[in-house]
């Protein structure tokens, strides 16, 4: 949608002002994960702060203007006294214009877009904002008309200043919008098809993007939201199960009870019994949503601004940390004394020592408190023997080195290799869930980490305010670094070079055995290509820097890539079906063959005409849909599983 079309849409939209508030936050005060109850402009006019809009961070100094749609998530950390205004409004398309548009919820609509910028004429916007705020305080209809008049002037000035700076809206976070849509309409008869239709995409794309962002499918998240609402009703009312089921969106009490028991481990009736059942509840009861529930500072009905500052008492937090430390120690002791099925053992980075220094003769000398390590952002002084490590990536790397982190990004705790790793459940249960990128800063602070590992440079500054942070980029622009070198790097950070080299040596021996098993399948002079079926086309993975197992296929097993794969500057290229034959090798590894929508590729004449397809030299080896697998990551556990899977599928296909 062009700028002119967006302006035309504003002209065809009725605006209802919902609320206008002025807010002052003291230094150190926080507003955590607040969900906007309506479309909103937020205008910061004084003070310095960190503001996240839909998890995108902004370093705010004085004047800064934000726009977000209903349901957008807002977090504010005031680094000094902060003053800002919030203008909440509701856009209503006129009937004739709505009928002309095929998708009334299009992501291109200006009142749904998310953007933030520093105004070039901030005082002009400030004067309009203050005038609206002053008039809003009057209760006369004339003053409300004046507010709406000034709002359109304010809107005009925003559009003009953005155009002068040639600013574009920030990319809409598709998964965030879909999640917000579910949370707003959980009590209706939602299906995957209905949600996909709202956002004009395929069901497969919706599922992939949602799970990639939140590590849960849309329908499973819908059940979580509904059950979470039902729990409150069970605790706070005497409504019947049928009444509760209908209220939260289940068709009947039977389906409600089935979903409730699947998530909670108890039937609704058992949960409601007046007994001390809390200690017996499964872990899933500790949270239903993708983010912790926060009491919103706005209420949808009264529009009263209420700031809620939820803090743990110091004694409570220390007690929880002490208990967690004790549980972790016991879990490690049990796993070490067990039958030897766990691949993780206590290490200086995963157990607590009174001295706080290394005692292992192969590690750092006891008198050395810190050491210097080289990172992507320069040299960093870190603890010589970190005791409490938190990481937004690399959990598999850490565990393979014997380091049990105290907290990791949520996706790490549900990676596919965990079930086959042999790591004791008690060890994994002791690792705190720190949410998505960036990790939940409040939770991260409560863990008191002495070393934080960041895989994204943009998040380093936030983490450094909490503790010593080391940056190890997972991606290099659109390519992935060599996985063995990445493992070496992490080993060097913790002084575990010897352990890293030992695994690499053992892994290379397994690679040589694998080469012997597939020897002769790819004949001399033949080439191999790797194709991933995506929602918006085909991805051809590069010979170097690709993801989804390409390093296992090309670098480790040394299967010969096509010339096109060797010439790619990035880790992949997106191609159309018409040029597929130019990229296809004599053998094709295809990722996503079982995903929704893959039949449009696999059943097409262009695909069936490929020589590799006609000769049966096609190896379907993974899925990026609901069944995300060991090819998503490149940690040591995943790489072992990738090697096993690639060899197996090649042998089975050719047998």
Share of the chain above pLDDT 90, in %: 35
In this predicted structure, what is the pLDDT of residue 168? 52
- Decide if pLDDT at 490 tops 90: yes
- Cβ-proximal residues to 368 (8 Å cutoff; 6+ apart), any chain: 357, 358, 384
User: Strands 407-408 and 432-433: what pairing?
Assistant: parallel
List b or e across 187-202, with b for residues whose CB sees 16 or more CB atoms inside 10 angstroms: eeebebeebbebbebb
The mean pLDDT of 451-466, rounded to a whole number, is: 90
The mean pLDDT of 602-607, rounded to a whole number, is: 89
Please tell me whether residue 290 adopts helix, strand or coil conformation: coil
Lowest model confidence (mean pLDDT) among 166-180, 353-367, 417-431, 566-580: 353-367
- Count CB neighbours of 447 within 10 A: 23
The mean pLDDT of 402-429, rounded to a whole number, is: 90
Q: Mind giving me the DSSP string for 154-223?
A: HHHHHHHHHHHTT--PBPP-HHHHHHHHHHHSTTS---HHHHHHHTTS-HHHHHHHHHHHHSS-HHHHHH
- Band the pLDDT of 275: cuts 50, 70, 90: very low
- Decide if pLDDT at 288 tops 50: no
Q: Quick one: which H or E segment has residue 75?
A: strand 73-78
- Band the pLDDT of 110: cuts 50, 70, 90: low
The mean pLDDT of 551-578, rounded to a whole number, is: 91
Q: Quick one: which H or E segment has residue 331?
A: helix 314-337
Two tokens at 37? 């109850």
Q: Which long-range contacts (CB under 8 A, 24 or more apart) does 375-383 make?
A: 375/470, 375/471, 375/472, 376/457, 376/471, 376/472, 376/473, 377/457, 377/460, 377/471, 380/468, 380/469, 380/470, 381/468, 382/451, 382/468, 382/470, 382/493, 383/356, 383/450, 383/451, 383/468
Q: Tell me the C-alpha distance between 227 and 211, whole Å.
A: 19
State pLDDT tens for residues 619-649.
Answer: 999 876 544 688 888 999 999 999 999 999 9
- Decide if pLDDT at 650 tops 70: yes
Kindly list the structural domains of the chain, giving each domain's residue range(s) and its CATH number in brackets, ordered by start: 3-164 (2.60.120.280), 174-286 (1.10.10.60), 318-474 (3.40.50.1980), 518-654 (3.40.50.1980)
State pLDDT tens for residues 194-228.
Answer: 887 776 677 777 787 787 777 778 888 898 899 98
CB 40 within 8 A of CB 114: no
State pLDDT tens for residues 518-554.
Answer: 999 999 999 999 999 875 568 899 999 888 899 999 9
The mean pLDDT of 430-445, rounded to a whole number, is: 89
Two tokens at 652? 């089975």
Q: Tell me the C-alpha distance between 344 and 349, whole Å.
A: 12
402: alpha, beta or left? (left if phi > 0; alpha if psi -120 to 50): left
Q: Which residues pair with 452 in a beta bridge?
A: 390, 469
Q: Tell me the C-alpha distance between 8 and 5, whole Å.
A: 5
- Band the pLDDT of 349: cuts 50, 70, 90: very low
Alpha helices in 237-267 (DSSP H): 241-248, 253-264
CB 252 within 8 A of CB 191: no
- Band the pLDDT of 348: cuts 50, 70, 90: very low
State pLDDT tens for residues 129-166.
Answer: 999 999 998 878 888 899 999 999 999 998 888 888 77
- Decide if pLDDT at 294 tops 80: no
- Decide if pLDDT at 282 tops 50: no
In this predicted structure, what is the pLDDT of residue 137? 84
- Decide if pLDDT at 107 tops 70: no
Between 241 and 314, where is the model more confident?
241
Lowest model confidence (mean pLDDT) among 87-101, 465-479, 584-598: 87-101
What is the largest distance, in Å, between two alpha-carbon atoms of the chain? 85
Between 115 and 150, where is the model more confident?
150
Between 348 and 227, where is the model more confident?
227
Q: Tell me the C-alpha distance between 610 and 587, whole Å.
A: 10
| 3-state per-residue secondary structure call for 492-554 | HHCCCHHHHHHHHHHHHHHHHHHHHHCCCCCCCCCCEEEEEEECCEEEEECCCCCCCCHHHHH
Share of the chain above pLDDT 70, in %: 77
In this predicted structure, what is the pLDDT of residue 301? 28
In this predicted structure, what is the pLDDT of residue 94? 59
In this predicted structure, what is the pLDDT of residue 6? 67
Two tokens at 217? 């499918």
- End-to-end Cα separation, the chain, in angstroms: 53
Between 49 and 308, where is the model more confident?
49
Nearest CA to 391 among 426, 438, 351? Answer: 438
Q: Quick one: which H or E segment has residue 40?
A: strand 39-46
- Decide if pLDDT at 299 tops 50: no
């Amino acid at each position: 949608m062009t700028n002119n079309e967006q302006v035309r849409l504003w002209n065809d939209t009725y605006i209802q002002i919902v609320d206008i508030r002025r807010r002052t936050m003291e230094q150190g005060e926080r507003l955590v994960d607040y969900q906007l109850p309506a479309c909103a402009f937020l205008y910061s006019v004084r003070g310095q702060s960190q503001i996240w809009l839909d998890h995108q961070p902004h370093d705010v100094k004085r004047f800064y203007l934000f726009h977000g749609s209903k349901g957008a998530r807002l977090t504010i950390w005031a680094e000094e006294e902060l003053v800002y205004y919030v203008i909440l409004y509701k856009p209503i398309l006129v009937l004739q214009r709505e009928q002309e548009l095929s998708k009334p919820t299009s992501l291109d609509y200006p009142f749904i877009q998310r953007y933030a910028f520093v105004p070039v004429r901030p005082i002009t916007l400030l004067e309009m904002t203050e005038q609206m705020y002053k008039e809003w305080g009057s209760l006369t209809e004339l003053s409300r008309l004046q507010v709406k008049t000034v709002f359109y002037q304010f809107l005009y000035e925003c559009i003009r200043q953005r155009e002068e700076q040639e600013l574009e809206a920030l990319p809409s976070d598709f998964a965030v919008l879909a999640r917000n849509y579910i949370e707003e309409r959980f009590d209706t008869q939602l299906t995957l098809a209905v949600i996909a239709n709202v956002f004009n995409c395929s069901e497969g794309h919706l599922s992939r993007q949602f799970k990639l962002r939140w590590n849960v499918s849309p329908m499973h998240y819908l059940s979580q939201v509904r059950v979470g609402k039902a729990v409150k009703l069970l605790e706070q009312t005497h409504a019947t199960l049928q009444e509760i089921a209908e209220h939260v969106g289940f068709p009947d009490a039977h389906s409600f009870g089935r979903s409730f028991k699947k998530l909670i481990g108890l039937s609704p009736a058992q949960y409601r019994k007046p007994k001390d059942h809390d200690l017996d509840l499964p872990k899933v009861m500790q949270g239903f949503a993708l983010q912790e529930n926060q009491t919103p500072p706005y209420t949808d009905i009264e529009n009263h601004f209420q700031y809620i500052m939820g803090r743990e008492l110091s004694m409570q937090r220390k007690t929880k940390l002490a208990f967690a430390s004790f549980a972790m120690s016991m879990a490690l002791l049990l796993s070490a004394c067990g039958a030897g099925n766990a691949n993780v053992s206590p290490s200086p980075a995963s157990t607590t020592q009174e001295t706080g220094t290394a005692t292992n003769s192969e590690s750092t000398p006891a008198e050395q408190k810190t050491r210097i390590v080289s990172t992507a952002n320069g040299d960093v002084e870190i603890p010589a023997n970190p005791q409490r490590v938190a990481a937004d990536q690399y959990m598999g790397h850490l565990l393979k080195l014997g380091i049990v982190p105290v907290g990791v990004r949520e996706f790490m705790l549900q990676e596919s290799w965990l079930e086959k790793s042999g790591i004791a459940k008690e060890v994994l249960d002791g690792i705190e869930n720190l949410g998505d990128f960036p990790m939940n800063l409040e939770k991260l602070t409560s863990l008191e980490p002495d070393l934080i590992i960041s895989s994204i440079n943009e998040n380093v500054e936030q983490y450094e305010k909490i503790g010593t942070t080391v940056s190890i980029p997972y991606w290099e622009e659109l390519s992935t670094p060599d996985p063995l070198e990445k493992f070496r790097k992490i080993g060097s950070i913790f002084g575990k070079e010897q352990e890293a080299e030992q695994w690499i040596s053992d892994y290379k021996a397994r690679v040589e055995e694998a080469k012997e098993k597939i020897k002769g399948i790819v004949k001399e002079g033949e080439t191999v290509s790797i194709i991933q079926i995506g929602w918006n086309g085909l991805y051809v993975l590069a010979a170097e820097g690709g993801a989804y197992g390409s390093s296992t296929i090309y670098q480790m097993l040394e299967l010969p890539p096509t010339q096109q794969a060797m010439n790619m500057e990035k880790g992949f290229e997106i191609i159309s079906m018409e040029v597929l034959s130019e990229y296809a090798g004599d053998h094709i590894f295809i990722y996503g063959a079982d995903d929704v929508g893959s039949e449009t590729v696999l059943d097409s004449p262009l695909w069936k005409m490929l020589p590799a397809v006609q000769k049966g030299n096609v190896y379907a080896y993974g899925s990026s849909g609901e069944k995300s697998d060991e090819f998503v990551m490149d940690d040591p556990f995943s790489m072992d599983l990738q090697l096993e899977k690639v060899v197996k599928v090649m042998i089975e296909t050719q047998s």
